[in-house]
Amino acid sequence: MKISFLILNAYGMGGTIRATFDLATEMSERHDVEVISVFQHTDLPFLPLGSKVRLRSLVDLREGARVRWPYTKKAERLGEQPSALIHPEERAYASFSAWSDDVLRRELRRLRTDVLITTRAGLNIMAARFARRRIVTIAQEHLHFEAHQPGIFEEIRQWYPKLDAIVTLTEADEQDYRTMLDGARTRVYTIGNGLAGGPRPRSRQENRIVLAAGRLVPVKGYDRLLKAFAQVVRERPDWKLRIYGEGRISDKLVKLAVKLRLHNNVTFMGPTGDIEGELAKASIHAVSSRFEGFGMTIIEAFACGVPVVSFDCPRGPREIITSGHDGVLVPPDDVDALAGGLLKMIDDEEGRHRMAANALETAGRYDISMIVERWEKSFAELVR
Amino acid sequence: MSRKTGGLLRSIEARQEVTAPGVRRAVTSRVDNHDVLRIEWPEPVDGEIVLRHVETGEERGGTDLAGLRPGVWTVSHRDEPLATDDPGFSLDGLLAYAETPRDREIRAFRTSLGTLALTVRDVEPYVEVTALVSDDGVIEINGVIAYGEPIEGSASLVAVARKGPEPVSGPALFRGRRFEGVLQIEPMARTQTRRRAFWDLHAEVAGVRLPLAARLDDITDKKTKVRFPAQRVGQVRVRPYYTDTDSLAVALTVEEETS
């Protein structure tokens, strides 16, 4: 079976890219798999992709990149104009242009494949509008249902019923999409992200390190994590917090950490290509997100034997973490509760070891081979 | 780990193949206080450990690491890179290792491909910074002696300007391995004539200066990752920082008038 993934930019780093690469790599053992990246800004992808997966891009943003004749002039002209096909409320709207509209539409009209899996709202809508009818179109939603603005939501409501299937990360999202589809023939499946195979380093629970990871953007709630950690440090000054990732509010967060006098305890580690190696050095993973579409790092932490303290935010954490068993869920938006949860985990060493062992077991349920089996089951139901 | 080592590692990782599935993986792989590589497996295995110096290709068998030349060494077992599940990193372990006076430091670490490697570097005694306060007109430092003999008694915390003014110092105390010292920032700021000036910090006792640094962890490039609070003396902003070698220094900057 030929399977094509369409992704915004395969060359950056982030949860969606990693999940897509891992899925594509595992599927390539039995299928002909390609990843189509709308944009390309560097020569090679940052994250690893299996050698059997073909990767190609549609719009080359690299310096000196030229669009081939006869499109050269058109690309220059349209590249300056805003996108008319992508809704301005699509979170990645700024990346698109009238030129990417043109290229994307041409690609979708000409693409020959058995299954097309698109990975974000703007691309899902494009697939619903332009993909050939005999291709099975599957829209993956990495964002939670309520994260969409009203304008783009109207487009989602209009176009998603034309898709063959929607794959959500959580059961809560599956329910919401079923309600929205209101009897349309489009199927809805919940399939979480899978954990790519291979052995992992394992935490010994020996370093007094709490780890957080993810883009430094407001939704990750690092401002609240820093405030909570300031409370932790007052009680347990020998504990450290390491925050991995980069992003547009990094300056603001560094300033907040300085203001809270956390310089001896908090380090902004920057991006890493080996989050598992870093997780295994830590003893606790903290999730302070305002919402978390799924929470891949929670599963990665589990797989390294690291229990998680998380806000009980919508939607992923509560479907993955069993509070008291493999982690601790605390009321969302509550800094004191987050501090309390961290201190509880820090002080209960025996409980932490027990939860670390349980976490390893939970991670097994997300093994990529089990996740791919669920995808293949959906293909079997959908392929005409 | 120095920046140079980091670069070397990336090049090793680019050359190495990912360990094949089915290869036995070590549960523990660490360097003990006597510079012996301790490897534990899920079940007993035989076969010799071979170390290979990345830069020169020199090979050595066994787990006694005494006398290894500085640089990065890869570790293999039965002709395969040794795969390990040990993150190979303990903050307390590094502190304990540094309690012993030594001139060579050997650390085991797990590469991002999951294989075991060692870094070997020459070391000299210094004071590892464990906490720093930058408030109320002073810089206050707590630390521990690394790779040197314990010291008892009063000492000083000395700031040495890279150019120009005489050193300034403040009271300090050694209690065995522990060090604490305080430095007023005003005397440094008073001498400021250029827009920017840099002062390196040392612990001084009986005419011997020990540098202050933060090296007993795995964090590279602390200069960009650790930000200390700034203080102001008139127009001069005073901010401690870690240098390219993770040593502790203070930057003094005359702030432009803001309209």
Confidence of residue B249 (pLDDT cuts 50, 70, 90): very high
CA–CA separation, A189 vs A191, rounded Å? 6
Average pLDDT over residues A65-81: 90
A204 located within any domain: no
Cβ pair B36, B65 in contact under 8 A: yes
What DSSP string describes A252-284? HHHHHHHHTT-TTTEEEEE--S-HHHHHHH-SE
By residue count, chain B amounts to 259
A294 CA: distance to closest CA in chain B (Å):
25
Check CB contact under 8 Å for B224 and A274: no
Domain presence at residue A199: no
Kindly tell me the sign of the dihedral angle through the C-alpha atoms of A71, A75, A77, A83: positive
Q: Best mutation site among B226, B238, B250 for testing chain A: the one with the most A CBs within 10 Å?
A: B226
Residue at which a domain ends, from B122, B152, B178: B122
Q: Work out the average pLDDT over A129-142.
A: 95
CB distance A277–B84 less than 8 Å? no
In the predicted structure, residue B16 carries a pLDDT above the cut 50: no
Instruction: Indicate the residue of B89, B110, B227 with minimum beta-carbon distance to A254.
Output: B227
Determine, for residues A199 and B228 on separate chains, whether the beta-carbon distance falls below 8 Å: no
- Residue B8, pLDDT > 90, answer no
pLDDT tens string A262-320: 999 999 999 988 899 999 999 999 999 998 888 888 999 999 999 999 999 988 899 99
Residues 6+ apart with CB under 8 A from B29: B37, B38, B39, B40, B75, B82, B84, B86, B88, B108, B110, B116
What CATH number did the domain enclosing A268 receive? 3.40.50.2000
Q: Tell me, what DSSP letter sits at residue B234?
A: T
CB contact under 8 Å between A199 and B114, yes or no, is: yes
Long-range contacts of A171-178 (CB under 8 A, 24+ apart): A171/A319, A172/A144, A172/A145, A172/A314, A172/A315, A172/A319, A173/A141, A173/A144, A173/A145, A173/A315, A176/A145, A176/A146, A177/A141, A177/A145
Residue in B closest to A199 by C-alpha: B85
B4: confidence class by pLDDT, cuts 50, 70, 90: very low
Final residue of a domain: which of B96, B122, B148?
A: B122
Nearest CA in chain A to B219: A269
Quote the domain boundaries for residue B201.
Answer: 126-254
Average pLDDT of chain B, as a whole number = 90
Q: Please report the pLDDT score of residue B112 as a whole number.
A: 87
Range of the domain at A19: 2-194+367-382
pLDDT at residue B93 in the model: 95
User: Which has the closest alpha carbon to B38: B113, B91, B105, B107?
Assistant: B107
Same domain, yes or no: A297 and A160: no
Total count of domains within chain A: 2
Please indicate whether, in this complex, the C-beta atoms of B92 and A206 are within 8 angstroms of each other: yes
Interface residue B85 vs chain A (CB under 8 A): yes
Computed over every residue of chain A, the mean pLDDT equals: 94
Q: Nearest 5°: phi and psi at A91?
A: -60, -25
pLDDT digits over B27-75, tens only? 989 999 999 999 999 888 888 899 999 999 999 999 999 999 999 999 9
**pLDDT category of residue B11 using cuts at 50, 70 and 90:** very low
Q: Are residues A9 and A87 in the same domain?
A: yes
Per the domain annotation, does A21 fall within a domain? yes
Task: For residue B57, tell me if it sits in a domain.
Answer: yes
Question: Please, are residues B29 and B37 in contact by the beta-carbon 8 Å criterion?
Answer: yes
CATH number, residue B212: 2.60.40
- A267 belongs to a structural domain: yes
Asked if pLDDT for residue A198 goes beyond 90, the answer is no
**How much is the pLDDT for B19?**
44
Tokens of B170: 């403040």
Same-domain check for residues A152 and A269: no
Residue B259 lies in a domain: no
Look at residues A15, A7, A95 and name the one whose alpha carbon lies nearest to residue A47. Answer: A15
Chain B neighbors of A204, CB-CB under 8 A: 86-87, 90
Q: Are residues A160 and A218 in the same domain?
A: no
Are residues A170 and A34 both part of a single domain? yes
pLDDT (tens digit, 9 = 90+) per residue, A232-255?
Answer: 999 999 999 999 999 999 999 999
The pLDDT value recorded for residue B23 is 67
* Domain final residue, candidates B106, B122, B138: B122
Per-residue pLDDT, A199: 81
Q: Does B223 touch chain A (CB under 8 A)?
A: no
Q: Which of A165, A80, A190, A195 is CA-nearest to residue A384?
A: A165
Q: How far apart, in Å, are the Cα atoms of A353 and each of A319, A330, A344, B27?
A: 22, 19, 13, 17
Q: How many domains does chain B have?
A: 2
Q: Same structural domain for residues B31 and B85?
A: yes
pLDDT tens digits, one per residue of A315-332: 889 999 999 999 999 999
Task: Say if residue B246 is in the same domain as residue B132.
Answer: yes
Minimal CA separation from A102 to chain B, in Å: 38
Q: Are residues B182 and B243 in the same domain?
A: yes
Distances (CA, A) of A17 to A20, A56, B117, B158: 5, 14, 29, 50
Indicate yes or no: CB of A201 within 8 angstroms of CB of B84: yes
**Would residue A306 count as lying in a domain?**
yes
pLDDT over 90 percentage in chain B: 81
Looking at the structure, do residues B73 and B172 belong to the same domain, yes or no?
no
Same-domain pairing of B169 and B105: no
Mean pLDDT of A31-58: 96
pLDDT digits (tens, 9 = 90+) for A217-227: 998 999 999 99
Least CB-CB distance to A261: which of B21, B83, B229? B229
Select from A254, A263, A280 the Cβ nearest to the Cβ of B87. A280
Are both B98 and B187 inside the same structural domain? Answer: no
Q: Indicate whether A266 and A321 sit together in one domain.
A: yes
Residue B43: what pLDDT?
A: 84
Is the CB of B114 less than 8 angstroms away from the CB of A201?
A: yes
Q: Is residue A118 part of a domain?
A: yes
pLDDT attached to residue A177: 95
User: What is the pLDDT, as a whole number, of residue A13?
Assistant: 80
Is the domain of A183 the same as that of A258? no
Please tell me whether residue B237 adopts helix, strand or coil conformation. Answer: strand
Q: Specify whether the CB–CB gap between A116 and A131 falls below 8 A.
A: yes
Q: For residue A219, is it within any domain?
A: yes
Taking CB atoms and an 8 Å cutoff, what residues of chain B touch A199?
Answer: 25, 83, 85, 114
Q: Is the pLDDT of residue A185 over 50?
A: yes
pLDDT at B15 over 60: no
Q: How many residue pairs from chains A and B have C-beta atoms closer than 8 A? A: 68
Residue A7 within a domain: yes
- Contact: B89, A281; criterion CB under 8 Å: yes
- Put simply, the answer to whether A207 touches B84 (Cβ < 8 Å) is no
- Inter-residue contact A226 to A250 (CB < 8 Å): no
Residue B227: asked if its preceding bond is cis (omega within 30°), the reply is no
End-to-end CA, chain B: 44
d(CA B28, CA B85): 7
Residues B87 and B203 in one domain: no
Answer yes or no: is B58 within a domain: yes
How confident is residue B10, by pLDDT bands cut at 50, 70 and 90?
A: very low
> What is the distance in angstroms between the Cα of A174 and the nearest Cα belonging to chain B?
36
Residue B104 sits in the same domain as residue B205 = no
Interface of B with A in 3-32 (CB under 8 A): 21, 25
Q: Is the dihedral of CA A216, A288, A357, A294 positive or negative?
A: negative
Q: Does one domain contain both A359 and A377?
A: no
Inter-chain contact A201–B132, Cβ cutoff 8 Å? no
At residue B10's C-alpha, the angle toward residues B5 and B15, to 5°, is: 125
pLDDT at B22: 56
Task: State how far the Cα of B169 lies from the Cα of B70, in Å rounded to an integer.
Answer: 35
**Cβ distance of A277 and B90 shorter than 8 Å:** no
Two structure tokens written together for A334:
């509550």
A375 and A337, same domain (yes or no): no
Which residues 6+ apart lie within 8 Å of B166 measured at CB?
Answer: none
Contact (CB<8Å) B228/A258: yes
Pair B82, B114 in one domain: yes
Shared domain check, B132 and B113 = no
What pLDDT does B135 receive?
Answer: 97
**Same domain assignment for residues A314 and A175:** no
Co-location of B148 and B102 in the same domain:
no
Same domain as A233, residue A92: no
The nearest CA of chain A is from the CA of B142 a distance in Å of: 11
Q: Is B175 on the interface with A (CB under 8 A)?
A: no
One domain for residues B161 and B116: no
Q: Which chain A residues have any C-beta within 8 angstroms of a chain B C-beta? A: 198-204, 206-209, 237, 240, 254, 257-258, 261, 263-264, 267-270, 273-274, 277, 280-281
In this structure, the answer to whether residues A217 and A344 fall within a common structural domain is yes
Q: What is the mean pLDDT of residues B205-226?
A: 95
Contact of B224 with chain A, judged by CB distance below 8 Å, is answered with yes
